[in-house]
Structure 1
Amino acid sequence: MTAIQRSRSIKRAVRNCAIAGGAIASALSPLAVSTAAYAQAAATQTTEQGDIVIPDDVKIFGNDNPNVRRATAVVNGDIITGTDVDQRLALILAANQGKIDDDEKKRLRLQVLRNLIDETLQIQEAKAADVAVTDADVDQTYARVASQNFGQNAAAMDAYLKRVGSSTDSLKRQIRGELSWQHLLQRNVQPYINVSDDEVNEMLTRLKAAKGTDEYRIGEIYLASTDDSQQQVYQNAMQIVQQLKQGGSFVAYARQYSQASTAAVGGDLGWIRLAQLPAELANAAHDMQPGQLVGPIQVPGGYDIIYLIDKRQVLTADPRDAVLALKQISLNFPKGISEAEANTKAQAFAKAISTAKGCGDVDKVATGVGAQVVANDQVKARDLPAAIQTSILQLSPGETLPPFGSLTEGVRILMLCGRDDPQVDSGPSFEQLQSQIEDDRVNKRAQMYLRDLRRDAIIEYN
């Protein structure tokens, strides 16, 4: 189970199940230990994992590399082929522009195989419980993914999948697995989860009391470990961090690697306060800035890699949510202009624009110096580059930022024409908070459910 006790909702996972990975199995092989043997082993130096007892002086009989596996498996009679693994791996490689070395590919291949095993177990369990996912359901989700990524052109997505070495069938199978699991949880788990009014009211009271305190939107990649696997898991976590720092997609890695229930939504924990995090993660997140990556951080049961997506204050309007009306005045430079000549021209341009009496007058002034003007009255401040967000929020209507640009793109000036400030966030409603608590509990039950399926599965590696 993830060290972070905050998970994304089942309903959101259904909406975003386009290209999501499943949870990852990481368990020791079952060992039968009698009561007498357990007592005898406990008298010596041992490492205990519940009813599993592992002596410190372990002697390995046979291959001492437990990670050596074939690329195919048979899960309760259903075959996972090498082609299945290759096509799913191709999606990860494409998401990272192929910037993955050979050692990392080997680790990824093993991870993909584990994901496919979990996916197979989920599909099998849904089928056994008579939970149907029709081809129409899968096609509808596939079309939504195409709409989001390829402008409603499913043929374009088909061509993309083929080009990167994957296939339509591979992605549709992944979609079927996720829909099967979500439908199964909604029928067999969610109806038995109860959240009292008192619980919700208590949380609402705590939320209001926290008004003005910092709130963080964090992404996580959680890797479970035991005492025996700790060093290997740490090395895997370090490899992931290196790949992410080299431009790898955090969302893609979270979907394929993370063992948290948030894997299905790319590791996104949503908005949380530091008090909701384990102390190790809270201390690390406190000083992080948006866009910063930290880890691996050792937590009880494994390691966490965290990414700060954004930061705000609880129940307080965020100035960056202000909607701005802007005009951009642009002046092109002649081809071959020197840097000194460009600086002189930019200064003269800025001086001319400064004579404009607000946004109503700037078009006439710009025409006089051969500049072009474009307007947009629906620009969110948070969507602007971080370097100019603070500066532009300090402007009054009719004022401008300093000129910026390059020798090839010319010089530009932004003028603020108006600003609609955000309303104070009143926080979640009673119904929204009740639903969130309910979904968190469903996710925790889902983790236990999947662990039971793994434990009882008959898996043959070919």
Structure 2
Amino acid sequence: MTKISTIFGFAAVAAVAVTPVLAQTVADTDVPNTSLNIPGNVQVYGDAKSNVYRPSATVNGEIITATDIEQRMALIRVANNNMELPADQEQALRQQVFSNLIDEKLQIQEARAAEITIDENLVNDQFARLAARYKQSPEQFTAYLASKGSSAAAVKQQIRGEYAWDRLLQRNVQSTTNVSKDEVDAIYKRTMEAKGQDEFHLAEIYLTATPETVEAVAQNAQKIVQALQGGGSFQAYARQFSEASTAVVGGDLGWVRAGQLPDSMADAARQMQPGQLVGPIEVPGGVSIMLMVDRRQVLTADPRDAVLSLKQISLDFPAGTTEAKASELAGQFAEATRSIAGCGAADAVAQKLGASVVSRDGISMRQLPAPLQGTLINLQVGQTTQPFGAANEGVSVLVLCGRDVPNTVAEPNIEEIENRLLEEKVNKRAQRYLRDLRRDAVIDFS
């Protein structure tokens, strides 16, 4: 089932482009079975000008303008810290944005045909939540977007499209999709039999390749890896470039065991830790980039299943703080907070530093970033993490006030199994639905 996410979760598409791989010349006997009537020695007549990217189109009579495309491109730059791309990569990304706008237009049109309307209050509320992420009011965020070459209208249209497609899937797909008891029972049985085995929550970006093209595709994959290591969104890159069916959900494979993976991926997964990125890895039919979201042992208690009580002490940096000054302030902050002896002393130390304190109970350790999980696992109650933060924001520490670790793990939840199977089926049907809309569309490129 499609879910509405913060807009830059799906606006922050890939910041590098995959270079197209040229088709290989093959003999008649080597033509792959594509179910198309294509001769082995293909001769192309005429030129390819009709297929060249053009900056506007009408989709079933509704216009997508060059301005629409450029405003979406500006959103991508905002979401990727104003990253500038080489000209060839930017052009490839612009083509993909154009394709996404066509899909969005088709989704909104289909929802309208089904008499689905979106309450503008929902759209405005989502826009306000996004503005809050940037510590701005909606009015300030509108001005900020305009200064970057985009607009509030472009963001709201994306939000509107997500809501429209979500409502349409609820009515036309989810309502007619069922999961049988036998399917749920089969998953339950396999889970019980796998108790104690390693299980991995993985995300994947998969690129197809032949033996002749695998080297070039791997080089392109390496560019994506470098961009991800520079802070790019894995989910956004997967949605944009992965050629697997999981692209629609940001490359998320869910929880899998080694036996469900190709050997090369299984070997890598066994060595990976949560948050780690690996690739490109050669797999059957292509190459993959893997992200270890999490790992666990099936139906086995794990220290990271702990529920924590925490205090966060935060010191904001003055506007314009340099990296060097931030490091100096962080060092002083670390020295002052290292001596905290229990949560009862945290407030007094924070007051001396001019820092703020927030107390939170019932925090699942798995909700926290992987580096903090690794630190908190080894802390005793009353101890403090090392400082963390950013130069343009400030620095914080967490004080561990309490930890509740489950001694046993409950049996698989039947309802959760059913919901997961239902979501998988809905996503597959949603892909086919959009494919059919594309096939029936009348698109005029101008």
Match of 1:132 among 115, 134, 140: 115
Match of 1:105 among 86, 90, 97: 90
Q: Deviations over 1:27-83 (max 9, x none)?
A: xxxxxxxxxxxxxxx994352343214344333334469973112222232221111
Q: Are residues 460 and 233 of structure 1, via their aligned partners in 2, closer, same or farther at CA, if it must alter by over 3 Å?
A: farther
In structure 1, C-alpha distance between the alignment counterparts of 2:59 and 2:368, rounded to whole Å: 49
Q: Are residues 417 and 243 of structure 1, via their aligned partners in 2, closer, same or farther at CA, if it must alter by over 3 Å?
A: closer
Q: Do the aligned residues in 1 keep the contact of 2:106 with 2:438 (CA within 8 Å)?
A: yes
> Secondary structure, in 3 states, of the residue corresponding to 1:295?
strand
Q: Are residues 176 and 422 of structure 1, via their aligned partners in 2, closer, same or farther at CA, if it must alter by over 3 Å?
A: same
State the TM-score, normalized to the length of structure 1. Answer: 0.71
In structure 1, C-alpha distance between the alignment counterparts of 2:239 and 2:131, rounded to whole Å: 18
In structure 1, C-alpha distance between the alignment counterparts of 2:186 and 2:80, rounded to whole Å: 43
- In structure 2, the partner of 1:440 is 424
One-letter amino acid matched to 1:134: T
One-letter amino acid matched to 1:14: K
- More displaced stretch, 168-177 vs 101-110: 168-177
State the TM-score, normalized to the length of structure 2. Answer: 0.73
One-letter amino acid matched to 2:89: E
Q: Deviations over 1:345-382 (max 9, x none)?
A: x79x98xx69x7x777x689989xx9999785647656
Q: Deviations over 1:113-158 (max 9, x none)?
A: 111122222223333xx3234241x540441353255169433432
In structure 1, C-alpha distance between the alignment counterparts of 2:209 and 2:181, rounded to whole Å: 37
- In structure 2, the partner of 1:7 is none
Q: Do the aligned residues in 1 keep the contact of 2:198 with 2:296 (CA within 8 Å)?
A: yes
- In structure 1, the partner of 2:185 is 201
Identity of aligned residues (%): 46
In structure 1, C-alpha distance between the alignment counterparts of 2:32 and 2:397, rounded to whole Å: 66
How far 1:184 moved relative to its partner?
A: 2.5
Structure 1 residues 38-117: aligned runs within 5 Å:
44-63=28-47, 68-99=52-83, 100-117=85-102
CA RMSD in angstroms, aligned pairs only:
4.6
In structure 1, C-alpha distance between the alignment counterparts of 2:347 and 2:280, rounded to whole Å: 57
- In structure 1, the partner of 2:321 is none
> Secondary structure, in 3 states, of the residue corresponding to 2:102?
helix
Q: Deviations over 1:233-258 (max 9, x none)?
A: 66654432232223322233234334
- In structure 2, the partner of 1:16 is 5
Q: Do the aligned residues in 1 keep the contact of 2:200 with 2:257 (CA within 8 Å)?
A: yes
Q: Which ranges of structure 1 fall in alignment gaps of 5 or more residues?
A: 1-9, 25-41, 331-335
- In structure 2, the partner of 1:451 is 435
In structure 2, C-alpha distance between the alignment counterparts of 1:202 and 1:113, rounded to whole Å: 42
In structure 1, C-alpha distance between the alignment counterparts of 2:13 and 2:360, rounded to whole Å: 43
Q: Are residues 91 and 222 of structure 1, via their aligned partners in 2, closer, same or farther at CA, if it must alter by over 3 Å?
A: farther
Larger RCO (alpha carbons 8 Å, 6+ apart): 1
Query: Would you say how many aligned residue pairs link Structure 1 and Structure 2?
Result: 409
Structure 1 residues 162-201: aligned runs within 5 Å:
162-201=146-185
In structure 1, C-alpha distance between the alignment counterparts of 2:347 and 2:146, rounded to whole Å: 52
Q: Are residues 375 and 92 of structure 1, via their aligned partners in 2, closer, same or farther at CA, if it must alter by over 3 Å?
A: closer
Q: Do the aligned residues in 2 keep the contact of 1:133 with 1:179 (CA within 8 Å)?
A: no
Is 1:118 the counterpart of 2:103? The answer is: yes
In structure 2, C-alpha distance between the alignment counterparts of 1:386 and 1:264, rounded to whole Å: 25
> Secondary structure, in 3 states, of the residue corresponding to 1:221?
strand
- In structure 2, the partner of 1:160 is 144
Q: Are residues 150 and 201 of structure 1, via their aligned partners in 2, closer, same or farther at CA, if it must alter by over 3 Å?
A: same
One-letter amino acid matched to 2:5: N
Q: Deviations over 1:310-365 (max 9, x none)?
A: 222223333134344568999xxxxx9xx9xx99xx79x98xx69x7x777x6899
One-letter amino acid matched to 2:435: R
Q: Are residues 175 and 65 of structure 1, via their aligned partners in 2, closer, same or farther at CA, if it must alter by over 3 Å?
A: same
Structure 1 residues 19-34: aligned runs within 5 Å:
19=8, 20=10
Tell me which structure has the larger Cα radius of gyration.
1
In structure 2, C-alpha distance between the alignment counterparts of 1:84 and 1:329, rounded to whole Å: 43
In structure 1, C-alpha distance between the alignment counterparts of 2:160 and 2:385, rounded to whole Å: 53
> Secondary structure, in 3 states, of the residue corresponding to 1:310?
strand
> Secondary structure, in 3 states, of the residue corresponding to 2:38?
strand
Is 1:143 the counterpart of 2:125? The answer is: yes
Q: Are residues 359 and 120 of structure 1, via their aligned partners in 2, closer, same or farther at CA, if it must alter by over 3 Å?
A: closer
